[in-house]
């Protein structure tokens, strides 16, 4: 019933789906509506060089402010989008939005830095992905070097041969590739080296506990030194304390991203705080 507010069994009335529709069906319909009517938006989180604190890029993170529920976390609606197939239109929307934003910064004479866009493994599995990417770059006349795609290990390791083909095609366009959430999967770094990645993002879960957990600290130093010897750049995500930052500097990590430096911010705040005219 409508009064049942507990757990996953919440049902509500929805004229589209009949008398009573499960909450997830309503959320699916609402998400579809949000994608189709430009109701999503993007926050940008700055990334910095650890040696000199210079801004080196942004990560684009999609946001959904549900009209009734308020902000819904991507941790909730990205899986929903993946389960329902909406991830394809959502992913395309994000990519276009970022390209449009870079275009408008360039038009305004603002110095831009590369923007990293998260790509779901399901998006990559669709055979029109490279085409969509190319279309976006062309439509907004974006220098390919200004776009970086963040891909998780499992997206690559699940289907090695296809991945190699696809990632090579993406690299061929000039778009950069980063491995997201590194260390949480099962792949070996030397294996991944055969793929055209240029950057490796050390997962937040290792950074979070590095002050208290010797194992996490050891894993981070191992990742950094292996990445270095393989010619991959490293960026640590989720850096929240000065101690974490100092540890990363000491062990030669290249870049950082985290609440210590800045939360993901709406575009206006990014422009005010981080961008300036050429
Ligand atoms: P991710 O790609 O690993 O993104 C990093 C997440 O860590 C973001 O969460 C960011 O807000 C958060 N974060 C950054 N610095 C800190 C920190 O210092 N402390 C803490 N506690 N968190 C920090 P967010 O925005 O909630 O996104 C969660 C995940 O949702 C992302 O993880 C990514 O996998 C996915 N996602 C977000 N936007 C998109 C998108 O446009 N497309 C796709 N396919 N996935 C997306
Ligand atoms: Mg990411
Ligand atoms: Mg990540
Ligand atoms: Mg993550």
Closest listed residue to residue 274, CA positions, set 106, 92, 47: 47
- Which is higher by pLDDT, 193 or 118? 118
238 lines ligand 1 (CB under 6 A): yes
Q: Does residue 13 register a pLDDT over 70?
A: no
What's the number of CA atoms in the CB half-sphere (13 Å) around residue 129? 23
β-strand pairing of 147-152 with 70-72: unpaired
Closest listed residue to residue 58, CA positions, set 136, 147, 133, 177: 147
pLDDT number for residue 20 = 52
ipTM value greater than 0.90: yes
Ligand 1 center–CA 61 separation, angstroms: 6
Task: Give the confidence band of 2 by pLDDT, cuts at 50, 70, 90.
Answer: very low
H or E segment to which residue 47 belongs: strand 40-49
Q: How far is CA 154 from the centre of its chain?
A: 15
183 lines ligand 1 (CB under 6 A): no
Taking only the tens place, the pLDDT of each residue in 231-278 is: 999 999 999 999 999 999 999 999 999 999 999 999 999 999 999 887
What is the b/e burial string over 144-164, where b = at least 16 CB atoms within 10 angstroms of the residue's CB?
bebbbbbbbbebbbeeeeebe
């Amino acid at each position: 019933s409508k009064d049942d507010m507990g757990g996953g069994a919440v049902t509500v009335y929805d004229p589209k789906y009949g008398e009573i529709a499960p909450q997830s069906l309503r959320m699916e319909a609402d998400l579809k509506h949000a994608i189709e009517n430009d109701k999503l938006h993007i926050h940008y989180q700055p990334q910095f060089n650890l040696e000199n604190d210079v801004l080196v890029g942004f990560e684009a993170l999609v946001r959904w402010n549900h009209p009734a529920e308020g902000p819904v976390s991507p941790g909730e609606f990205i899986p929903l989008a993946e389960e329902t197939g909406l991830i394809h239109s959502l992913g395309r929307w994000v990519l276009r939005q970022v390209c449009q934003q870079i275009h408008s910064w360039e038009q305004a004479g603002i110095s831009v830095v590369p923007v990293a866009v998260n790509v779901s493994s399901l998006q990559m599995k669709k055979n029109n992905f490279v085409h969509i990417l190319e279309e976006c770059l062309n439509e907004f006349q974006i220098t390919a070097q200004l776009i970086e795609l963040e891909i998780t290990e499992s997206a690559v390791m699940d289907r090695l041969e296809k991945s190699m083909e696809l990632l090579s095609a993406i690299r061929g366009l000039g778009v950069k590739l980063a491995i997201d959430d590194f260390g949480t999967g099962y792949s070996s770094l030397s294996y991944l080296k055969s793929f055209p990645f240029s950057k490796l993002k050390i997962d937040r879960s290792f950074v979070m506990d590095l002050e208290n957990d010797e194992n996490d600290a050891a894993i981070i130093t191992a990742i950094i030194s292996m990445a270095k010897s393989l010619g991959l750049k490293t960026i640590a995500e989720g850096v929240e304390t000065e101690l974490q930052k100092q540890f990363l500097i000491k062990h030669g990590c290249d870049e950082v991203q985290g609440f210590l430096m800045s939360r993901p911010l709406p575009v206006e705040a990014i422009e005010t705080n981080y961008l300036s005219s050429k």
